[in-house]
């Protein structure tokens, strides 16, 4: 890059990542509300989050089914009426059930705040879980499941979670066909009563926030009474399976899916920002080593990446790719080779500069606009962290030195600890 | 209301600018007026392969991605039947690096045989990942040649035969570049934290010196009107039988466009769409069903696709789809739903325009269609669709002789 004829423009360092602070208050019943004012359009994003994820369930599919059934009929509306009404007011509703948390997110024009709160109240606090709707949902879900189980990437990720978290842990167990027959309305009702409560919930709002929002929230949600059962984690710690390498044979495939990784620290650990940087170097962006080597140099795959993710009880790191049948063993060797390189050879200054600046640019994108802001807020807040976490991350990106990366790679990427899941024709 | 300004460089490059000072970033979108419809039938997939090659080095810059990452930028690209579109976002202070990179690869590509060989493999893996290694993945590959017999929309963007790409070489690729990639065949859109004057100066500085080029004239064979219903039955080892039905519709700029758009929303917009409500929820014939249109510039397709519940007969499923479509003719049933889908369209347009990248892509594409102002007119155009227009359009297009069907039959025995 030194002898360019059309001269390369100056590179301006990204000095400062500015993150707007969220305002917070509590509803009359104690529910915390976080408000992030942002954006230019008259729109809002409203999220209701509950500690009602998979980790709470005592039957497979309970958390996700309870969440999906919220909009299948309430005391005042049938499912059809709820859906029509949401569509009529131009509202986008996402129902989400993750490993730790579950809830709903609504996107709408802020003039419709009152209607949105009325419908949210019905969906969240007055669902009736009708048996007919439940039965037809489970039949549909079984069809979706059967199609998904045809895809090597789904077989691989399901096995990966089982292997790293343990086959009896709610983070890890795999869904079986018969699980779709086991859930009844009374299971849903009791799960809902226990976990969709003011004690277990928080509200995150962003956008051009309608001035009546606080008042309306109190009148729709602030008087929901508590049943005083705060949800507690009584769940066992995660414990990975003994077998580190699992191959699932699936005939007729033209590509094999590969997942390599293990449990690791989560966002609460002081080394986490450094791990984010290490992960970027390895496989976290288009210019990463895995992409450069396995796609851009060798052409084995359309894409390969690594990621590090945080859960409440632990974190995990994972390398994922789909590779042509004849090259997948070579690809696995290259993956381990890249990890070993990170443990032994310091990252050169030029590459360090690229990673630093790419990641700082990524941080600007993480806080650009009301939707991104809310998601970034949530993903720190879930771990009892605030913006200081992001400022710490930005500082680490600017200052980390290559020796520290070697140290992190040696501490957290011990190759003997990694699980290796492959799915495809043998 | 999205305000924008437009100017044209002497070499024909059109530039659109929309200022949005609420973001620290700038989005830069370059649309090239070339897609898979412009390919030789013996060399399909070239437009898309070429998109991959555009990252392999240009006259003065050996590698596109690294310098962009070095200034905090991120980029991607896509190719479809009609266009090849490149986009990036970058912190505003580093926008000049974006100009440097994009103008250099418009000036002249410089990539190696090795790069061509590698990207051919990457595309092969992309093809495998998207189409061959997915259940039902080949359905769309079968649909195009069933619906189109003549027009180049008969092959998919990735190519109708991967062997075509094996036959290309550096010379052919270079000549493709000079006959399609040129300032007079491109549209640049800049949105976000940028001033108009700054955009004009930078565009002149970096793109101004690139000369006009002779563009290969587009002379595509029109698809003759379909006169008979076409049916293809495929048997596969998949969990559920699936049904695909497509109808020819008008071109992007025809009067029917917004009517068809509204019809697909009546049928499949949101949880309360008619196909889902009637066939998934009420009759329980399908586990999922969707309707959409291809939105191509030349006459495109409206597609309905669904997967059947276990034990459902495909004839019964198909009849039920036809019934739902004829239900659109019933004014009493539809009027409320018209208002509903119009509201939803309006709000989804507002949401889409919160992203500087979407705004840049939309401005560039609407300029290609001839009027960037469409970005502010679409909601009205959609709102103006009347039920009479829906009736007329349903009667015109949704007739058996205009339809192609794939019965994608599951051969799997389930316990």
| Window B:302-321, CB contacts with A under 8 Å | 307, 309-310
Start-to-end C-alpha separation, chain B: 57
Q: Residue ranges per domain, chain B?
A: 5-206, 230-410
Average pLDDT for A169-181: 96
Note which residues in 244-273 of chain B have CB less than 8 A from chain A. Answer: 269-272
Residue of chain A whose alpha carbon sits nearest to that of B273: A84
Q: Does any CB of chain A come closer than 8 Å to the CB of residue B412?
A: no
B354 contacts A39? CB cut-off 8 A: yes
Q: What's the order of all strands across the beta sheet hosting B25-32?
A: B5-8, B14-19, B186-192, B25-32, B84-91, B74-79
Q: Which residues of chain A lie closer than 8 angstroms to B237, CB-CB?
A: 252
3-state secondary structure chain A: CCCCCCCCCCCCCCCCCCCCCCEEEECCCCCEEEEEECCCCCEEEEEEEECCCHHHCCCCCHHHHHHHHCCCCECCCCHHHHHHHHHHCCCEEEEEECCCCEEEEEEEEHHHHHHHHHHHHHHHHCECCCHHHHHHHHHHHHHHHHHHCCCHHHHHHHHHHHHHHCCCCCCCCCCCHHHHHCCCHHHHHHHHHHHCCHHHEEEEEEECCCCCHHHHHHHHCCCCCCCCCCCCCCCCCCCCCCCCEEEEECCCCCEEEEEEEEEECCCCCCCHHHHHHHHHHHHHCCCCHHHHHHHHHCCCEEEEEEEEEECCCCEEEEEEEEEEHHHHHHHHHHHHHHHHHHHHCCCCHHHHHHHHHHHHHHHHHHCCCHHHHHHHHHHHHCCCCCHHHHHHHHHHHHHCCHHHHHHHHHHHCCHHHCEEEEEECC
- How large is the ipTM? 0.93
**DSSP structure string for B152-172:** GGGS-TT-S-THHHHT--HHH
Q: Which residue has the higher pLDDT, A51 or A6?
A: A51
User: How many other CB atoms are there within 10 angstroms of residue B184's CB atom?
Assistant: 17
- Sheet containing strand A43-50, strands side by side: A23-26, A32-37, A201-207, A43-50, A102-109, A92-97
Token output for B82:
């009609």
Give the per-residue pLDDT at A233: 56
Assess B209–A contact: CB distance below 8 Å, yes or no: no
Q: Which member of A5, A255, A302 has the closest CB to residue B122?
A: A302
Residues facing residue A422 across a β-bridge: A247, A258
A5: confidence class by pLDDT, cuts 50, 70, 90: low
Residue A144 has pLDDT above 90, yes or no: yes
Nearest chain B residue to A90, by CA: B344
State whether residue B68 is helix, strand or coil. helix
In this chain, the answer to whether the domains covering B5-206 and B230-410 adopt an identical fold is yes
Domain extents in chain A: 23-220, 245-424
**pLDDT for residue A76:** 95
Inter-chain residue contact A323 with B125, CB threshold 8 Å: yes
CB of B110 within 8 Å of any CB in chain A?
no
A198 burial type by CB count under 10 A (0-12 exposed, 13-18 middle, 19+ buried): buried
The first and second tokens of residue B164, run together, are: 């075509």
B350 with A71: Cβ contact below 8 A: no
Does residue B73 belong to the interface with chain A, where contact is any CB pair within 8 Å? yes
Query: Nearest CA of chain B to the CA of A146: how many Å?
Result: 6
Spatial contact of A175 and A63, defined as CB atoms under 8 Å apart:
no
CATH architecture group of domain A245-424: 2-Layer Sandwich (3.30)
Same fold, A23-220 and A245-424: yes
Fold exhibited by the domain A23-220:
Cytochrome Bc1 Complex; Chain A, domain 1 (3.30.830)
Please give, rounded to a whole number of angstroms, the shortest distance from the CA of A286 to a CA of chain B. Answer: 8
Determine what percent of chain A is predicted with pLDDT higher than 90. 92
What is the CATH architecture of B5-206? 2-Layer Sandwich (3.30)
Say yes or no: B134 contacts chain A, CB-CB below 8 A. Answer: yes
> B346 in helix, strand or coil?
helix
- Chain A touched by B135 (CB under 8 Å): yes
Interface mutation vs chain B, best among A1, A4, A9, most B CBs within 10 Å? A9
Strand partners, B352: none
- Name which of B69, B124, B307 is nearest A354 (Cβ-Cβ): B69
Per-residue pLDDT, averaged over A156-172, amounts to: 97
**Residues A3-24, mean pLDDT to the nearest whole number:** 84
B313-372 residues touching A, CB cutoff 8 A: 339-341, 343-344, 346-348, 350-351, 353-355
Mean pLDDT of A371-392: 96
When pLDDT is averaged across residues A311-329 and rounded to a whole number, the result is: 96
Nearest CB to A83 within list B62, B65, B272: B272
Task: Give the integer Cα–Cα distance in Å for A405 and A390.
Answer: 19
Pair B170, B116: CB distance under 8 Å: yes
Position A412 pLDDT exceeds 70? yes
pLDDT at position A2, please?
35
Tell me if A89 and B343 make a contact (CB, 8 A cut-off). Answer: yes
**Kind and range of the H or E element at B91?**
strand B84-91
* Interval A124-139: pLDDT, tens: 999 999 999 999 999 9
* Predicted pLDDT of residue A232: 60
Nearest to B60 among A4, A14, A83 (CB): A4
Q: What is the interface size between A and B, counted as CB pairs within 8 Å?
A: 217
Residues A214-267: pLDDT tens digits? 999 999 999 998 766 655 656 788 999 999 999 999 998 999 999 999 999 999
Residue B413 confidence (pLDDT)? 83
User: Which residue in B126, B135, B310 is closest to A151 by CB distance?
Assistant: B135
- Number of residues that make up chain A: 426
Instruction: Please name the member of B67, B117, B121 whose beta carbon is closest to the beta carbon of A8.
Output: B67
In the sheet where A255-264 sits, what is the strand order?
A245-249, A419-424, A255-264, A315-324, A301-310
For the record, the structure tokens of B115 come out as 């790069």
| CATH, domain range B230-410 | 3.30.830.10
For B347, which of A14, A109, A147 is closest by C-beta distance?
Answer: A109
For chain B, residues with pLDDT lower than 70 are 415
């Amino acid at each position: 890059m030194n002898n360019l004829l059309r001269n390369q423009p100056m590179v301006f360092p990204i000095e400062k990542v500015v993150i707007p602070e969220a305002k917070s208050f509590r509803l009359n019943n104690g529910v915390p509300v976080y408000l992030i004012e942002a954006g230019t359009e008259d729109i809002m994003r409203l999220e209701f989050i509950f500690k009602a994820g998979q980790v709470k369930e005592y039957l497979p599919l309970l958390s996700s089914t309870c969440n999906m059934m919220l909009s299948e009929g309430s005391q005042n509306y049938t499912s059809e009426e709820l859906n029509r009404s949401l569509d009529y007011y131009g509202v986008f509703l996402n129902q989400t059930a993750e490993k730790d948390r579950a809830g709903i997110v609504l996107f709408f024009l802020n003039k419709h705040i009152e209607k949105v709160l009325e419908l949210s109240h019905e969906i969240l606090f007055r669902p009736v879980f009708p048996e007919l709707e439940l039965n037809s949902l489970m039949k549909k879900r079984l069809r979706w499941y059967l199609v998904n189980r045809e895809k090597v990437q789904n077989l691989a990720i399901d096995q990966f979670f089982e292997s790293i978290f343990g086959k009896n842990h709610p983070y890890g167990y795999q869904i079986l066909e018969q699980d779709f027959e086991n859930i009844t309305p009374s299971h849903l009702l009791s799960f809902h009563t226990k976990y969709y409560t003011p004690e277990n919930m928080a509200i995150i709002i962003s956008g051009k926030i309608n001035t009546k929002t606080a008042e309306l929230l109190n009148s729709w949600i602030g008087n929901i009474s508590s049943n005083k059962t705060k949800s507690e984690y009584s769940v066992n710690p995660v414990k990975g399976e003994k077998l580190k390498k699992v191959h699932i044979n699936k005939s007729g495939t033209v590509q094999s899916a590969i997942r390599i990784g293990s449990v690791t620290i989560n966002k609460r650990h002081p080394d986490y920002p450094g791990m984010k940087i290490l992960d970027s170097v390895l496989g976290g962006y288009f210019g990463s080593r895995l992409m450069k080597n396995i796609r851009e140099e060798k052409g084995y795959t359309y894409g390969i990446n690594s990621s590090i993710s945080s859960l409440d009880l632990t974190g995990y790191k994972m390398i994922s790719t789909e590779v042509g049948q004849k090259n997948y063993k070579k690809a696995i060797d290259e993956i381990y080779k890249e990890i070993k390189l990170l443990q032994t050879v310091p990252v050169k200054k030029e590459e360090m500069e690229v990673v630093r600046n790419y990641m700082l640019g990524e941080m600007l994108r993480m806080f650009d606009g009301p939707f991104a802001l809310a998601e970034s807020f949530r993903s720190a807040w879930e771990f009892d962290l605030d913006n200081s976490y992001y400022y710490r991350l930005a500082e680490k990106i600017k200052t980390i030195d290559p020796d520290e990366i070697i140290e992190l790679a040696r501490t957290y990427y011990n190759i003997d600890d990694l699980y290796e899941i492959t799915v495809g024709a043998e | 209301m999205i305000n924008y300004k437009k100017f044209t460089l002497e070499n024909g490059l059109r530039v659109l600018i929309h200022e949005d000072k609420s973001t620290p970033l700038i989005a830069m979108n370059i649309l090239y007026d070339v897609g898979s419809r412009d390919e030789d039938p013996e060399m399909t997939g070239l437009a898309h392969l070429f998109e991959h090659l555009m990252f392999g080095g240009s006259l003065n810059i050996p590698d596109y991605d690294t310098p962009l990452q070095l200034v905090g930028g991120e980029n991607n690209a896509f190719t479809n039947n009609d266009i090849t579109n490149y986009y990036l976002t970058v912190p505003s202070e580093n926008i000049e690096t974006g100009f440097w990179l994009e103008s250099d690869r418009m000036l002249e590509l410089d990539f190696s045989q090795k790069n061509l060989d590698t990207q051919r493999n990457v595309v092969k893996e992309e093809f495998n990942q998207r189409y061959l290694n997915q259940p039902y993945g080949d359905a769309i590959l079968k649909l195009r040649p069933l619906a189109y017999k003549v027009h180049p929309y008969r092959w998919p963007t990735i190519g109708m035969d991967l062997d075509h790409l094996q036959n290309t070489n550096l010379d052919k690729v270079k000549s493709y570049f000079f006959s399609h990639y040129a300032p007079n065949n491109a549209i640049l859109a800049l949105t976000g934290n940028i001033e108009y004057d700054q955009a004009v100066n930078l565009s002149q500085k970096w793109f101004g010196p690139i000369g006009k080029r002779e563009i290969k004239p587009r002379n595509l064979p029109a698809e003759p009107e379909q006169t008979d219903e076409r049916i293809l039955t495929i048997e596969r080892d998949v969990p559920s039988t699936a049904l695909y039905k497509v109808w020819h519709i008008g071109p992007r700029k025809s009067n029917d466009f917004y009517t068809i758009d509204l019809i697909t929303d009546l049928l499949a917009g949101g949880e309360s769409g008619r196909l889902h409500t009637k066939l998934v929820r009420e009759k329980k014939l399908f586990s999922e069903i969707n309707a959409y249109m291809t939105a191509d510039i030349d006459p495109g397709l409206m597609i309905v696709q669904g997967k059947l519940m276990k034990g459902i007969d495909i004839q019964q499923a198909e009849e039920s789809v036809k019934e739902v479509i004829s239900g659109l003719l019933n004014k009493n049933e539809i009027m409320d739903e018209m208002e509903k889908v119009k509201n939803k369209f309006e709000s989804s347009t507002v949401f889409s325009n919160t992203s500087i990248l979407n705004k840049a892509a939309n401005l560039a594409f609407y300029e290609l269609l001839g009027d960037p102002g469409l970005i502010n007119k679409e909601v009205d155009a959609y709102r103006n669709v009347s039920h009479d227009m829906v009736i007329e359009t349903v009667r015109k297009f949704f007739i058996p002789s205009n339809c192609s069907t794939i019965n994608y039959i599951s051969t799997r025995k389930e316990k």
